[in-house]
Structure 1
Amino acid sequence: MKSLKIWGIGALLSLAAPTISAQNGILFEGEVLQQAALSGESIARLSQPQLFGTARSMAMANAFASLGGDVASMSINPAGLGMYRHNELSITPLVTSSRSSNGAAGYDSNSKGRFALANFGVVYNLYEGTGRVVSVNMGLGYNRVADLNYRTSFQYDSSSRGGKAPTILDAMAGQLTANRMFPDSEGFLGYYGDSYPDLWGAMMAYNSYLINPVDDPDGAYWEADRVGVNADVGHFYDLESRGSVGEYDISFGLNIDNRIYVGATIGIRSISQRIRLYYGEDFLYDGAPAVNGSGQELIEQVDYMHYNQAADVNGVGVDFKLGVIYRPIPALRLGLAFHTPTYYSVDRTYAGQMAAMCYNNDDKKYYPSDVNTDGSWTDSGSDSYRFVSPARLMLGASYTFGRRAILSVDYQRDWYNGIRVKQTPFWIPDEAAYARSTLKRKFRATNTLRIGAEVKPLDRLALRAGFACTSSMVRHAELTGSAPLAERVCYYTAGVGFALSRRVSLDAAYQYCKTENSAYRLFYAAERTGDALAYIDASEPLSTDYARHNVALSLGVKF
């Protein structure tokens, strides 16, 4: 068992608060290591919209910046509400399913599906006139901005041949060394009032008999002294996310001379996400004894460790959308819309738990770690996160071929390099400054092209199709290698619409979305020089892409 020696180094515990991103000039990051805080990568992922709306708009890849006349206009270009000359109620349920593909062997499930609400809206025709102002309309609605239900799971092995295989325990030992955090004279290292959640994993590793401090004349440090340098390491990863980003809209649209349409939307956004992450390591010696760097057999060795983390994010945000649509001729429509950044305030709860099984080579006995290995933390109120998501600009043009066909093309630009962190919890006081100086280096603006078409072979039948593609949000992949981020997102869409009567319509849509992500690492300790990282301890680079299938059905009633 772990010896409770009086190390004589507890007095070296620094009272200075560490930061989640850079500790004493060394970055300790990665998809597993940085779950304790809301990172810039997490903010970017929460800010990325998906193509939800009515079944008609989804089937046409949401190329509605100039089309209008649809409940989805509230969240795309509110000027489209000005085209209504009647009241309308629309509801769009959704079935969504996602599957991840990884650059490693499967471990558990990689699929996630659910039934949800894609869109709901009501448009009221408030005014009909005979002057220049033809009509005024108001819309109230809900639109699903992003679906956060997905799961990815894989496993891979790291060989000790040619040197010690990478293990997260070395990175955790480095975290405590960099922050000069050591046990007190009784061997206690707790994680409540006297520490910070970004170091909990490392503290749990100590309390699980996985790492220990070393009292060295040249300076105390930590090491994973129960892992032999000849160990092959098996890595096991399973992440499950549940939740969504939704928006509640209050919109107004104005029709001037049946040529100019202007509109505005106040959007109240809601974020709800629950992440459950499991990470484990197995240590294998192929029948040989575990040895240290000097070739001596270890008295105690760790066989495996399990690290479970949970993070819940809940918050609200507000944004504004302004738009205009111009019809120079009856068949042609030109649209322009601007979405302000969304100003978010979110609370975050984090919990961690670790367990391990160790083996004593003298006693020939196994012993589990089952004490002082969990904790939870909530960042809320004055210690909540506040950040600003990207601004968005849309340009669109559409042409109507009589009453039989429509072709619509949109261009959209999202400024992810404009993400700003406005407030962070007290335990990461330097994070806002760090984010301001690095987010521009990590991210860049994306460009999106959307194309939608509709053909009516019969008066009561419409056939639809669309395509959309978004460029990479990643400016420097090396600096964003701690999480998978979208480098290319493409949608292939199709649908059909039926006019059941003069007042009732039924539409169906199918979307296939392929997201190609940047490479990332589960953990690493590294020094940064400009836009490059020099790795000290790091897992192998990995890749995870997502394929999503969305099926939506809309019922619309005019009244």
Structure 2
Amino acid sequence: MKTYRSLTIGFLATLSTLGYNLNAQNLADGLRFSQTHNNGTARFVSMGGAFGALGADFSSIAVNPAGVGVYKSGEFTITPSFKTQKVSSTFLGVSASDNKNRINLDNLGFVMSFKPYKSEDKGILAYNLSFGYNRTNDYHSNAITLGDYNNYSIMDYFSAITNGKYTPSQLEPTTNYNPFNTLGGGAWESIMARNTRLLYKYDSGTGTYEPAIYLQDSVKYKNISTTEGGSGEFTTAFGVNISNKLYLGASLGITDFNYTFNSTYSEDAKESNPSRPNGDRFYYMDYKQYVETKGSGFNLKIGGIYTPIPEVRIGLSFHTPTFYSFDDAFSSSIITNFDTTGTEVIFQSNSPLGRYDYHFETPMKITGSVAIIIMQKGLVSIDIEHLDYSTMRFRRGGDGDTFWDLNSQMGNTFKSVTNLRFGGEYKIGDIALRGGYAYYPSPYKSGFLNDKSKIQQISGGIGYRTGNVSIDFAYLRTLQDVKYVFYDLNIPSVTNKVRDSRVLLTFGFRF
């Protein structure tokens, strides 16, 4: 039997324009699985991640595995980081904000270099092998949204998805009947809404339900969401140096993914909210949702770096899709408070814990890079990265689902994009000053809610190297504005301004 869960209401659910209740996987999930941004060692991050033509940095292997071939010695690096994020939400002129702080391990890398005996600098000059880890995403975030709105309530949504489909006897449990098990996950919201009085009155003639609050009444909205988890990649790469002119490399990446979402969506009735003819009066409701996604996958990367002259490097790399296997766990509950003939009564309905396993393929990726070395003291570098988000695909659901409709939606919603990364470095003795910028355009086609939701990253840093020891510092600022709707396209969208600040410190030792 197909299992369903609701589309999360929180700030990461930016695709809720496609409907509040979708099947167990949705378009926002696909985007979350597929997007990665500037992350890794402090030097890599401070230069915008524009390392496809440079190499000789462990995190550069994630862009172009030929970068491991550029190493002339072995190296060990470790990079702890501190992230602080502020999410500022605006809904109908009402603003609210929340913060989240987090310490991470963003990089742990080890490179070995083997040099065959050569009497001249021709042929294969080095075989290099690397092992290590790069964090690719951090999902820790808090967000809160507040607001008032007339004429709309989530009860209207519950009525719309229930009308004409289920009678009260189908939704209400008895000693020998459990509607959650009998009707399946697609009915969970209807079951909970009915058993907490949000679907207040049933008209058997039309098969429709009347919400517990009148449409002309105003309600106070509040949505609190918390996300946790992250994704990372364990990489094994092999590269060669051919005549100090051509560097070739290949890598195998083993990815891990862990994401947890909790939200509480609340509606409080205004003081003017009238009682029902029988005296019942609605006061408030809480709709809680929980989703946990765990998975792992693998990908392959190949690449090359060519140096036509010592001052110029040209890089090209290709990434296969990452082939993921995922398992979702999810549940929800509704709690309501009514004044029933003068007595306060609380109703609660809890869904069971649902589970669903499936597979997913991210888009393939191609990156072209150019770097210019300036008098052995400085450099500028650019990466141009192309991928097509419309090619994301869900595969092989645990119930045999082929996800035909969902994959078709992704093709109609997303587009191909070209990401840009720029970086520069200037050395003054043992000190290196660095700066970078990365631009990630919106993956949505024109006309969708977040078609202008680009991501910009501004970075800078400083490095110190003496002998075989190096210390690098980086600061990264990430800017993004995201829109979402609660449950109905007729309701104005919420705008979240997401502002990340991250500090990274890399300790390196070459041998």
TM-score above 0.5? yes
1:548 partnered with 2:500: yes
Among 340, 343, 365, the residue aligned to 1:392 = 365
Q: How much has 1:166 moved relative to structure 2? A: 0.9
Distance 1:521 1:215, change over 3 A: same
Counterparts of 1:213 and 1:231, CA distance in 2: 17
Post-superposition CA distance 1:33-68 (Å, at most 9, x none): 448723111220232102111110100001001011
Q: How much has 1:197 moved relative to structure 2? A: 2.9
1:401 partnered with 2:401: no
Contact 1:32/1:279 (8 A) holds in 2: no
Question: Which residues of 2 match residues 200-349 of structure 1 at below 5 A?
Answer: 200-212=188-200, 214-217=202-205, 219-224=206-211, 226-286=212-272, 289-290=274-275, 297=277, 299-349=279-329
Counterparts of 2:286 and 2:19, CA distance in 1: 12
Aligned to 1:146: 137
Distance 1:62 1:235, change over 3 A: same
Aligned to 2:153: 167
Contact 2:468/2:510 (8 A) holds in 1: yes
Contact 1:64/1:73 (8 A) holds in 2: yes
SS of alignment partner, residue 181 of structure 2: coil
Amino acid at match of 2:196: S
Distance 1:178 1:264, change over 3 A: farther
Question: Which residues of 2 match residues 8-23 of structure 1 at below 5 A?
Answer: none
Q: How much has 1:79 moved relative to structure 2? A: 0.2
TM-score, length of structure 1 as denominator length = 0.84
Amino acid at match of 1:331: E
Distance 1:201 1:32, change over 3 A: farther
1:55 partnered with 2:32: no
Contact 1:41/1:485 (8 A) holds in 2: no
Counterparts of 1:329 and 1:122, CA distance in 2: 29
Aligned to 1:11: none
Q: How much has 1:99 moved relative to structure 2? A: 1.1
Distance 1:349 1:18, change over 3 A: closer
Among 411, 434, 453, the residue aligned to 1:487 = 453
Tell me the C-alpha RMSD between the 2 structures.
2.5
Counterparts of 2:410 and 2:258, CA distance in 1: 23
Amino acid at match of 1:506: I
Q: How much has 1:284 moved relative to structure 2? A: 1.7
Post-superposition CA distance 1:404-431 (Å, at most 9, x none): 10111111112111101112343xx767
Distance 1:403 1:17, change over 3 A: closer
Among 471, 475, 478, the residue aligned to 1:513 = 478
Among 144, 150, 157, the residue aligned to 2:148 = 157
1:99 partnered with 2:86: yes
Q: How much has 1:158 moved relative to structure 2? A: 0.6
Aligned to 1:25: none
Structure 2 residue runs without a partner (length 5+): 8-14
Aligned to 2:406: 435
Aligned to 1:376: 353
1:359 partnered with 2:339: yes
Contact 1:236/1:280 (8 A) holds in 2: yes
Contact 1:19/1:430 (8 A) holds in 2: no
Aligned to 1:194: 182
Contact 1:50/1:147 (8 A) holds in 2: no
Among 456, 470, 473, the residue aligned to 2:427 = 456
SS of alignment partner, residue 230 of structure 1: coil
Post-superposition CA distance 1:96-130 (Å, at most 9, x none): 111112223355x5111100011110001134342
Distance 1:356 1:126, change over 3 A: same
Question: Which residues of 2 match residues 532-547 of structure 1 at below 5 A?
Answer: 538-547=490-499
Aligned to 2:11: none
Q: How much has 1:208 moved relative to structure 2? A: 1.0
Contact 2:279/2:342 (8 A) holds in 1: no
TM-score, length of structure 2 as denominator length = 0.91
Aligned to 2:10: none
Amino acid at match of 1:90: T
Give percent identity, aligned residues only. 25
Q: How much has 1:245 moved relative to structure 2? A: 0.8
Q: How much has 1:402 moved relative to structure 2? A: 2.1
The farther-off stretch of 91-100 and 175-184 is: 175-184
Distance 1:181 1:333, change over 3 A: farther
Distance 1:17 1:498, change over 3 A: closer
Among 385, 389, 397, the residue aligned to 1:416 = 389
